[in-house]
Structure 1
Amino acid sequence: MKITEFMKSKKGASGIGTLIVFIAMVLVAAVAASVLINTSGFLQQKAATTGKESTEQVASGLQIIQVMGKVNNAADNIEYITLIVTPNAGSSSIDLSQATLMLTDGNKKVVKKYDLDNHDAFDFSKGSLFTGDSWGLISSEATEFGIKEIQDADESCDASTPVINKGDVVAITIKNPAAGGLTLDQRTPVSGTFEPEFGAPGVISFTTPATYLADGVVELQ
């Protein structure tokens, strides 16, 4: 039998059964395509969010420009410590109410945060750090640090929302009480960090001077 005659004698499948199979195949393909599209969209969104958070984590952070101390009346200990702080270049806005200051003298460690409920720890006299009662405005509470604006063009930093962003410079001050505080007599090594909510922390590392003057101000770092 010739091949052409053999092929002519065969009939293709047709009818409702074939139609059902065809529709089922189309539906399966549509469902699979929908799942793939939804999954790819979710992964794209997740990747974008992760990339943004990673960028913020890497680029954001605090830079400590200077660390100063105010000596007590007895000239045997540092009564106040002040950090001059600014955000890193390219940093996102940083909420100082979520930051944590940690210091240690090798024997004792203190951890301090900003108290949003106590506006006495915010110095409203914006500008030069050492005018007026800038040191005394800081609360003596052991777990608290105070904030003073030095440079804040957009006025983003205030007592209830202490947020700093590009170009802002603030002073972070803690009181170091004679009883219960760090022992910061002469030639004492001190280390610590100023940890923001996210991003790189500001690193603190200094050794106190060999001599003190009563009520004097010393540069520590």
Structure 2
Amino acid sequence: MKGIEGYLHTNVRIKQDAAMGIGVMIIFIAMVLTAGIVAYVILSTGSLLENQSGSTGTQTIKEVSSGLKVSTIQGHNSLGLIDKIVILITPRAGSPEIDLNGVLIELSESNQKNILKYSSSNWVDGRTGLTSLFDVNAFSSASSEFGAIVLVDDDSSCFQTTPVVNRGDSVMLAINTTAIFGGINENVNIVGNVIPEEGAWCIIQFRTPSSFVNPILILQEE
């Protein structure tokens, strides 16, 4: 009887040890799987963040290096009022082509703000020179439109109906300030932006002189 009891006791113990071993193995496998899942999540998150960071960096560089820049803003003095202004723009160094049909000009003084869009009826080819800049038909009579005077355009991309500005081009945006503000007086702050569809905006910010002596006034320079 003792032999049988010893055998049974030993057999039960072996089974218990085997069960414990299987349990430990199951726990170990679960830990390995959990560690694998955690590692996968960490790697996936890191890869996603890296891609997002790269995309954000590329977009930021594109925004900074593309768009338009203002070289100068000039005004025409007519009987003590600035009745017209021109904004000389050029593309930034890394800018893609910019269609003036998609460009807006925001212009405001203390009492009024206007948003202007391009008018193809007020396009002027000035590549061969102009005898009187402020007398050309580039200044729209509408308070919500601006015209364009093309000065440099070697590939003829900036045409009347397809006014595309690209590298090396110089274009004047023509604004009839009489139509917008009834003219601009002395000591007036003018602010605004030239807003392309893509890329950096151009800032318009100047204060008119305290007295208008000359017929042509330099209002803002780069």
Which TM-score tier does this pair reach, normalised by the shorter chain? 0.5 to 0.7
Describe the SS at the equivalent of 1:47: helix
Describe the SS at the equivalent of 1:199: coil
Contact 2:70 2:202 in 1 (8 A): no
Q: Which residue of 1 aligns with 2:150?
A: 149
Q: Which residue of 2 aligns with 1:49?
A: 55
One-letter amino acid of the structure 2 residue matched with residue 169 of structure 1: S
- CA shift for structure 1 position 175: 1.2
Describe the SS at the equivalent of 1:120: strand
Q: Deviations over 1:170-190 (max 9, x none)?
A: 100111236x624324x4434
Give the percent of matched residue pairs that are identical in Structure 1 and Structure 2: 28
Contact 1:62 1:194 in 2 (8 A): no
Q: Which residue of 1 aligns with 2:6?
A: none
Structure (1 or 2) with the greater strand fraction: 2
Q: Which residue of 2 aligns with 1:77?
A: 81
Asked whether 1:102 is paired with 2:107, we answer: yes
One-letter amino acid of the structure 2 residue matched with residue 205 of structure 1: F
Q: Deviations over 1:55-108 (max 9, x none)?
A: 334444543222223455xx343332111112344556555423323142x5x3
State the Cα RMSD in Å.
Answer: 3.7
Q: Which residue of 2 aligns with 1:30?
A: 36
One-letter amino acid of the structure 2 residue matched with residue 199 of structure 1: A
- CA shift for structure 1 position 169: 1.3
CA distance in 2 between partners of 1:162 and 1:35 (Å): 50
Structure (1 or 2) with the greater helix fraction: 2
1:117-136 alignment runs, 5 A limit: 118-123=119-124, 125=125, 127-128=127-128, 130=130, 135-136=136-137
Q: Deviations over 1:137-171 (max 9, x none)?
A: 43211111122322234555445554534432110
The runs of 5 or more residues in structure 2 that have no matched partner are: 1-13
- Tell me which structure has the larger Cα radius of gyration: 2
The runs of 5 or more residues in structure 1 that have no matched partner are: 1-9
Q: Which residue of 1 aligns with 2:9?
A: none
- CA shift for structure 1 position 48: 1.1
Contact 1:188 1:207 in 2 (8 A): yes
Matched pairs, number: 201
1:53-68 alignment runs, 5 A limit: 53-60=59-66, 62-68=68-74
- CA shift for structure 1 position 220: 4.0
Asked whether 1:199 is paired with 2:200, we answer: yes
Q: TM-score, normalised by structure 1?
A: 0.68
Describe the SS at the equivalent of 2:117: coil
Contact 1:120 1:138 in 2 (8 A): no
